[in-house]
């Protein structure tokens, strides 16, 4: 079997949409990085020793 045929077999065809795995977009990566920085900043500022 070729790779292209193998990819088609992994997708499920429904009446609504053709389902499969999607790539993560640049916007989602940026949001994840921003939230991580916010969380680390919060932990450093609120849990540092007095």
Q: Which helix (H) or strand (E) holds 13?
A: strand 12-13
Digit-by-digit pLDDT tens for the chain (50 residues) are 455 555 556 666 666 665 666 777 899 999 999 999 999 999 998 886 66
pLDDT value of position 41? 94
Handedness of CA 5, 11, 16, 21 (dihedral sign): negative
pTM: 0.51
Spatial CA neighbour of 33 closest among 45, 24, 22: 24
Q: Are 11 and 18 in contact (CB under 8 A)?
A: yes
- Listed in sequence order, the DSSP H helices in 1-50 are 3-10, 26-46
Q: Which two tokens stand for residue 9?
A: 């077999």
């Amino acid at each position: 079997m070729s790779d292209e045929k193998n990819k088609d077999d992994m997708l499920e065809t429904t009446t609504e949409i053709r389902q499969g795995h999607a790539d993560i977009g640049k916007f989602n990566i940026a949001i994840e990085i921003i939230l991580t920085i916010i969380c680390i900043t919060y932990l450093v500022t609120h849990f540092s020793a007095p």
